[in-house]
Amino acid sequence: QVQLVESGGGLVQAGGSMRLSCAASGRAFSTVAMGWFRQAPGKDREFVAAITWSDSRTYYTNSVKGRFTISGDNAKNTVYLQMNSLKSEDTAVYLCAARRFGGGGVLSSHSFYGSWGQGTQVTVSS
């Protein structure tokens, strides 16, 4: 079991920046990938970004490419999401997710991940 705790959310003006953090504990040593999803009121959970620890490759949904950067510290079992040039449509609860062990699956799918944090609210005012 992996426990995830997000931090860093809040209120920011459009065009501003914010950095989210997600700390993993428990059996975090077996984590192979971590990701960020977001969910706005009345909408489905949406993939935002992910990173795989073996090769540090990063993946993004199109709407955040060039604005968001995912990074991580495997030794600290922590992943970050740096968000720049924020827009009102980025307003959502942001959730951290972790995948233990390898195997197949789609990294951008919420079913790929077995552990989830509680989420942190990000509100972008226009």
pLDDT for the residue numbered 39: 98
pLDDT for the residue numbered 60: 98
Burial of residue 8 (CB within 10 Å: 0-12, 13-18, 19+) is middle
pLDDT for the residue numbered 75: 83
Q: Give every residue of the chain whose pLDDT is below 50, as ranges.
A: none
Model confidence pLDDT, tens digit, residues 14-32: 999 999 999 998 877 788 9
Model confidence pLDDT, tens digit, residues 53-67: 889 999 999 999 999
CA 111, 123, 119, 17 torsion: positive or negative?
A: positive
